[in-house]
Amino acid sequence: MTEVHIRPAGPADLDAVLAFWKTSAEGTSISDDRAGVERLVARDPGALLLALEVPPLQPGRERGKEGEEGELVGTVIAGFDGWRCHLYRLAVHPDRRRRGIGSALLAAGEERFAELGGRRGDAMVLVRNERAQHAWRAAGYAPEEQWRRWVKPLTD
């Protein structure tokens, strides 16, 4: 029987993360490339959390190592800028949904925020992604309709 282990991503994980997002994440961002994710991990090494489905722990083996073998089944970016706690790229493999992986990733992100002194988490959720909206509501998040996200690409 396998278990799910959550740990921060490192440089060795980035290609797998990018491939995972193509099949498991909704929407895309200008930062969804190798350089963008490398910058994230270099600037805030604990922000990109991975859920790995791993075989049972064998004697002498440790959990939590970068590049740890296991199937990537979920991600969340729990970014903290010193003032606000932002959640991005909560994604669970379509074949592994409704098994508590997303909830475990959110709990790990929220724990990270609490350790860093964060007081409120927010998430960007696509308006058209009703499944995600339901999941966020179930996790205790609520939309704030008075806010609108404004963006400006800084590169061509």
Phi, psi of 86 (to 5 degrees): -115, 135
Q: If you ran DSSP here, which 8-state letter would residue 116 be given?
A: H
Give the tens place of pLDDT for each residue, 64-82.
554 457 899 999 999 999 9
Give the tens place of pLDDT for each residue, 12-52.
999 999 999 999 987 667 677 889 999 999 999 999 999 99
d(CA 90, CA 106): 8
Tokens of 145: 């309709």
What is the CATH code for 3-57+69-138?
A: 3.40.630.30
The domain ranges of the chain are 3-57+69-138
d(CA 14, CA 66): 11
